[in-house]
Chains A and B, each alone.
Chain A
Amino acid sequence: MLHEITLNINGETYPVVVKSQDTLLRVLREQLGLTGTKIGCENGECGACTVLFDGAPVNSCMVLAVEAQGHCIETVEGLSKGGDLHPLQKAFVEHNAVQCGFCTSGMLMSAKALLERNPHPTEQEVREALVGNLCRCTGYIRIVDAVLDVAEAGD
């Protein structure tokens, strides 16, 4: 069955036509060209597809597009404003917390959600917030350090 819905993504409104079973992940990538959100398992296991749903991190492969109607969705593409990197993006670059980059978008979104609800997390809290985001390359430590750096720099 087809549904005509409107999605609010990164503050913009997008009218789309979706099938009942279409996931938010697929609609972001295939209809809206927002390919920064990655497909790693489509089973809720890896976190590569993490986006924010009213500020909370969700695996977008586990969310139906129709469920997203009326909610604020944020993706990695919405992080930098006007060419300026978000502090988390900057910290990831500075810490060399990026290797292949496939987990990076999801990591950034989970980290953003964490800092919004807990601006001064402990190292353990950062590790817990990122536990659903798998990374095969970096060994996590620089990612955790980058997030802690931003937490410290904020007020």
Chain B
Amino acid sequence: MKEQTSNPVGKSVPRVDAFEKVTGAAKYVDDMAFGPTLLHGKIVHSPVAHALIKKIDVSKALALPGVKAVVTGQDNPTLLGLYLKDRYIYAYDRVRYVGESVAGVVSISEEIAEQAAKLVEVEYELLPPVFDPYEGAKPDAPLLHPDLGKYEVVNFIFPKPGTNISEHFKLRKGNVSDAGVSEEVWAQCAAVVEDQYTLPQIQHAPLETHIAVAQWNADGQVTLWAASQSPFAQRDLLAQSLGIPHGNMRVISPYIGGGFGGKAGISIEANVVLMAKAVPGHPVKVRMTREEEFVATNVRQSLVAKFKIGCDEAGNLLAMDLAYYFGGGAYNDYGVNIARAAGYSCTGPYDVPNVKGDSYCVYTNHPIGSAMRGFGMPEIHWGLEQIMDRLAEAIGMDAADFKRQNCVRSGDIILTGMTMPEVDLPKCIDKVKEAIEWGRESKPSAPHKRRGKGIAIMWKAPAMPPNPGSSAIVRFNEDATLNVYVSGQELGQGAFTVAAQMAAEALGIPYEWVRVSANPVDTKYSPYEWQTVASRVTWSMGNAVKAAAEHARGQILEIVAKYWNENPADLDIKDGVVISYKSEREQTLKKMVIYGLPNENFEGWQGGPIVGSGKFMPTYVTGLDPETGQGARAVVHYTVGAQAVDLEVDTETGQIEVLKIASAYDVGKAINPDLVLTQIEGGAVHGLSSAFECMLFDDRGRLRNPSFVDYKIVTSLDAPREIHGDIVETPLEDGPWGARGVGEHVMVQTAPAIANALYNALGVRFNDLPLSAEKIYLATHEGEELICKA
């Protein structure tokens, strides 16, 4: 008999999707067959960063044999966007970054589409570009969006028309004013650090590039197949923008070859839908090349961050004056909420009495800055976590002790006025200190090498509208196997596996009886899920799955109780059998979950096919005062964690080798502990990689490194020898079995932990990412004459 796992929550059961994935059977969008009527689309990208479109001539492209249609912004000048509708699907009257979609060509083959794309002639009148968010925020900077004041925007985002600022979040706490933290407070500080830290834009670089297939039928039914973290949000945005009834707009999304936020919200999908509209009845496919993926899809925002932070001589943080300028890129339809999230969490995981924080999202003529794993938190922690070390050093304290002393604790009134929900950050710090042998010096492997250790801590809340919902359905089969319907996407994080575990646990059936019917997610048949983002799925979708399973369980118990003439409260389901604690009777679930049970003496039947449904939506998040950022409950909760790094740096080459990363996160409850560890490990390496990544633009905004050869991500040789993970479990009040998310948090503070370790090794601080070998070499050989020895 096959193994059966009872009560699978908290057990490291195998992934439900692993078999399909190791055999090559798992289907991604590009693996789906669309038949001989399939046409191929190619997007024409802008070659210039900022310009007015004077004229588009598509006649030559259309004349090429095999070309079926060419679409441009003139065909459908409709604005699109999740939080701020600031983006035309195809550029309308101007372009704002190199790579922007200007036209779409549809043809019978990929080759012809590519040729035709080169024949689309566009006349541009160049405008002065803006690349630096700090400069771009100034009142005299060239304007990217003169119509900013006319765009539709949600009520918690505050654009500043007449500037390039698409969002300004203000945080005021304690003895502060718009001018800054009061001089009285600074006077009490024994140490103050004032400095600027910056990060460049970086790419998500999932192994699967963006891909979408769309079909627009003559009867008005529109179908989109997309590698998407957000099938329902995409359906909503497309339906709104294109005037399609939601019921006619269908989004189908199978497995995704990596998302990391890049496939959240909407990217190329609307472009493909408009191509399909031009060739009714034909599916049209666009797969971004790797180069297009780098140049023309969403990226992580850049940041210029200005800090002034002070503490007293006992090491208590007294004041923070913070200004964050996010380089939002050309369109900030999603990015505005990153600046907002960075605003209401601007202090990092610290309890500080006086805070003045200003977080801006600024338009720049670079690719669209959007969601990426961490959503603003890796960006702000880069500087924050280094300054904490500098303050500790200034007053002669150990950095880990300093962080432990000042970090947020359950019950604290945090910067927005909200009470900190249950978490245990000191425990996370203690765990990583132990794992990295904090305070113990290690010997370098050669005389020209230096060793160093660094620590960094973090917090992050799910950043989303106040009320994003989840729903789930469970359905029994005759043999009591159960199908679970969810629309949380399987990006690799294990969403389907935890859904199966939770359904089995809540129902009282073995894990092996559960099948997850979510591949593909299909908005026509699958239950609603807002988006697979914000590390919210285990928590939010998990609550919906639990509710659906409990709904089904209630129905079963009622039927059996009636059959036995007992009280449902005395019954339970264990390992797929209904038992009575009172009469000790047993009833298997097989058959009865479909056919019900007979009445006494076979006088009729009761019951019927068991279908359970459940939903979850947070109802308690409140608005925040636009002048102070204060409010009763800014966010649903926070996940916290700590990381420590042990590294060796070669002073002759500037190369860093990260030897070990130790992480500890408070996940509330690990539904599947080994899957939590896979997130912790994969995230640490992603975080390590992010410290060395950079989108390199020339002075005209053209990306110079759009390939894996020139944009290097960490390989098997760069991954640390050892990654240690610790799971802390302080239950979350409204989490399923206490669980909260951890998918993004795992890379938030890796880069500053590395920077702190570098300082420990070399005595040099690095304020600007990436940590290139050249930069490190030059910093360690300052003042020396550099001679090239050929």
Q: Which residues of A contact B (CB under 8 A)?
A: 29, 33-43, 45-46, 48, 75-77, 79-80, 85, 89, 92-94, 96, 98-105, 108, 126-128, 130-131, 133-144
**Of B25, B678, B707, B716, most A-chain CB atoms within 10 Å:** B716
For B497, the closest partner residue in chain A by CB is A96
Instruction: Let me know if B707 and A85 touch, CB within 8 A.
Output: no
Q: Which residues of B contact A (CB under 8 A)?
A: 14-15, 17-28, 30-31, 33, 204-209, 255-260, 287, 289-290, 491-494, 674-675, 678, 681-686, 707-709, 713-717, 719-720, 723
Smallest CB separation, A145 vs chain B (Å): 11
Instruction: Let me know if B708 and A45 touch, CB within 8 A.
Output: yes
Bound together, the chains give a CA A12 to CA B29 distance in angstroms of 27
**Of A77, A92, A103, most B-chain CB atoms within 10 Å:** A103
Smallest CB separation, B221 vs chain A (Å): 27
Bound together, the chains give a CA A128 to CA B255 distance in angstroms of 29
CB contacts between A and B, total, < 8 Å? 168
For B24, the closest partner residue in chain A by CB is A36
**Of A45, A101, A108, most B-chain CB atoms within 10 Å:** A101
Smallest CB separation, A26 vs chain B (Å): 10
Q: What 9 additional pairs, Cβ within 8 angstroms, besides A136-B204, A139-B684?
A: A36-B25, A46-B290, A100-B257, A100-B492, A102-B28, A136-B207, A137-B492, A137-B682, A143-B716
* Residues A142 and B290 in contact in the complex (CB < 8 Å), given A85-B22, A134-B713: no
What residues on B are CB-neighbors of A48 within 8 Å? Answer: 207
6 A-B pairs closest in CB distance: A36-B24, A102-B257, A99-B492, A100-B492, A139-B685, A101-B21
**Of B18, B681, B708, B717, most A-chain CB atoms within 10 Å:** B18
Smallest CB separation, A76 vs chain B (Å): 4
**Of A29, A37, A38, A141, most B-chain CB atoms within 10 Å:** A141
**Of B14, B259, B681, B683, most A-chain CB atoms within 10 Å:** B681
Instruction: Let me know if A35 and B681 touch, CB within 8 A.
Output: no
* Residues A100 and B255 in contact in the complex (CB < 8 Å), given A41-B707, A134-B708, A142-B681: yes
Bound together, the chains give a CA A108 to CA B491 distance in angstroms of 20
Instruction: Let me know if B715 and A36 touch, CB within 8 A.
Output: no
Bound together, the chains give a CA A105 to CA B259 distance in angstroms of 18
Smallest CB separation, B260 vs chain A (Å): 7
**Of B24, B26, B255, B492, most A-chain CB atoms within 10 Å:** B24
A-B contact pairs, 29 of them (CB 8 A): A35-B27, A36-B23, A38-B208, A40-B208, A40-B209, A41-B289, A41-B290, A42-B289, A43-B290, A45-B290, A46-B207, A85-B19, A85-B22, A93-B14, A93-B19, A99-B678, A100-B206, A100-B255, A100-B491, A101-B21, A101-B255, A102-B28, A103-B207, A134-B715, A136-B205, A137-B258, A139-B682, A139-B719, A140-B685
Bound together, the chains give a CA A85 to CA B25 distance in angstroms of 13
Instruction: Let me know if A136 and B206 touch, CB within 8 A.
Output: yes
* Residues A102 and B30 in contact in the complex (CB < 8 Å), given A96-B674, A139-B681, A144-B716: no
